[in-house]
Each structure stands twice: as structure tokens, then as C-alpha cells.
């Protein structure tokens, strides 16, 4: 996906991108490639692939959830090189974004990226999701928690749902395994206080790979014992 195709594809979905935002995405790409030489940020480095599989894919969640004009307090768990929250912040500047990632080198990159792109309202935390979810300063404080390609849905729900305030939403961005993960994860979602609202299935343009966004509403407080200690959710997923 070249830049013109990126702009046109977003326009076709009702998202108008400004010249300044296009410049920010181009700067994002350049910084990603520069830093990727010394920090393992992504295996995807070809420009057209980055625009499709990182930038466009990150923004695809906005086709199914309204971000326009919203000042959501959003938390991105395991953002890695900033996906999906930094592309969303570029497109929807009113978002208040918190990013948590377990690797310090990625947080250092993200701080440099945020500074260079002059993005206000972005907070970065080097922490394990299991520890972060037990922190009273963050537990059940977010309108929206989002994650992309971090873990299977049962594990991811234990990372993310404790951070969502009651009445808020958890959005899990998945690939072709999404439907099976959803079937396996329904018990965990319920135990953690969530309820499935809907799932949105679509294909990325050009390459036609399948994507799924799972929309989960937080209806009850998450029991205090969740998330469990670091490493336990991945070793022993909730059923």
C-alpha cells in the first residue's frame, strides 16, 4: 500500500487525513526503520508493507468503533512499536493514550517517537501487564483498552479487562484465529467482568488477509485476584 492508496483507503472509510498527519506517518516510518536496526521492533520493514500491515491495520479499528472527536482515556497493552495506539493518536488527537510494554528498549523508542511527532497526551510505562493491572492508579481507570497481536484472547483478557472501567470497552484486534480464540475465551471474559458485544470481521485490502475485532464491554468489577502474578496467565490461561 503506497501513500496515495493509504490516503484513498481511509477516505473510502470516511476518515479524512490531513497533510500534517501524512507527514507524521512518514516520519513514523523513517524513525521505525532507523531504530529497527538497533532494537528489534518489527519484522515488517518494506514501506508499502508498513503502511498496510501496521498503519492501516492499526486504524482499521476506527472503522468499527467511533473515535472521532472523542477524548477517551485509552490504554494500549503490549504496544511494541506503538501499534495500534500511535496511529490512532495521530488520526484522533483528542485521545489520551497510555502505553504499557514490558521491554524497556521499546519504551525508549516510543518516547523518542512521541517527542519527534510532537504528540501531547501520551504516557508511557515500562511494566508487566500483570503488575500494571494491579496498580490502583491504573486498575479500572480506562474508558477503552486495546491490544493487537499480544497473546491469545483468554490471556489477553486477563491482561486488559482489569484496566477497563465498568461501562468501558476492551477491543482485541485479531487475525484469522480470532473466532476460535473467542470460543475458547468466553469463560475468561465472563469471569473477568466482561461481556461480548460483537465481533467485526473484515479483510485487509490488497493482500486480503483476515482480521477480526472483538468488542467486549466491562459490566462488572474484575475480581481482585486478577490479573494473577507475572507469567501465570500465559502458563495457565483462564477457562
Here the CATH number for the domain that contains residue 125 is: 3.40.50.150
C-alpha 238/C-alpha 227 separation (Å) is 10
Q: Are 109 and 65 in contact (CB under 8 A)?
A: no
Q: Which residue has better confidence, 69 or 134?
A: 134
**16 is a domain residue:** no
pLDDT value of position 57: 97
pLDDT value of position 30: 98
pLDDT value of position 234: 94
Query: In terms of residue numbers, what domain contains 154?
Result: 57-230
This prediction has a pTM of: 0.95
**237 is a domain residue:** no
SS3 call for 170: strand
Other residues' Cβ atoms within 10 Å of the Cβ of residue 62: 19
pLDDT value of position 224: 97
**49 is a domain residue:** no
pLDDT, average across residues 6-13: 96
**41 is a domain residue:** no
Residues flagged as binding site for S-adenosyl-L-methionine:
78, 83, 129-130, 148
Number of domains in the chain: 1
Amino acid at each position: 500500500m503506497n501513500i496515495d492508496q493509504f490516503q484513498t483507503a481511509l477516505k473510502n472509510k470516511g476518515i479524512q487525513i490531513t497533510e500534517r498527519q501524512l507527514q507524521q506517518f512518514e516520519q513514523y516510518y523513517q524513525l521505525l526503520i532507523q531504530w529497527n536496526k538497533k532494537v528489534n521492533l518489527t519484522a515488517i520493514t518494506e514501506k508499502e508493507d508498513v503502511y498496510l500491515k501496521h498503519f492501516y491495520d492499526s486504524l482499521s479499528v476506527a472503522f468499527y468503533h467511533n473515535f472521532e472527536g472523542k477524548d477517551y482515556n485509552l490504554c494500549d497493552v503490549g504496544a511494541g512499536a506503538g501499534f495500534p495506539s500511535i496511529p490512532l493518536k495521530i488520526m484522533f488527537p483528542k485521545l489520551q493514550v497510555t502505553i504499557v510494554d514490558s521491554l524497556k528498549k521499546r519504551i525508549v523508542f516510543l518516547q523518542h517517537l512521541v517527542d519527534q511527532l510532537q504528540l501531547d497526551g501520551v504516557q508511557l510505562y515500562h511494566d508487566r501487564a500483570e503488575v500494571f493491572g494491579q496498580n490502583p492508579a491504573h486498575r479500572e481507570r480506562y474508558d477503552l483498552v486495546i491490544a493487537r497481536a499480544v497473546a491469545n484472547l483468554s490471556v489477553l483478557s486477563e491482561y486488559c479487562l482489569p484496566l477497563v472501567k465498568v461501562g468501558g470497552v476492551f477491543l482485541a484486534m485479531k487475525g484469522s484465529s480470532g473466532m476460535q480464540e473467542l470460543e475458547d475465551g468466553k469463560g475468561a471474559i465472563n469471569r473477568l467482568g466482561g461481556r461480548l458485544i460483537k465481533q467485526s470481521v473484515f479483510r485487509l485490502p490488497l493482500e486480503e488477509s483476515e482480521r477480526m475485532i472483538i468488542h467486549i464491554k466491562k459490566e462488572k468489577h474484575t475480581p481482585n485476584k486478577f490479573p494473577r502474578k507475572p507469567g501465570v496467565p500465559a502458563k495457565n490461561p483462564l477457562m
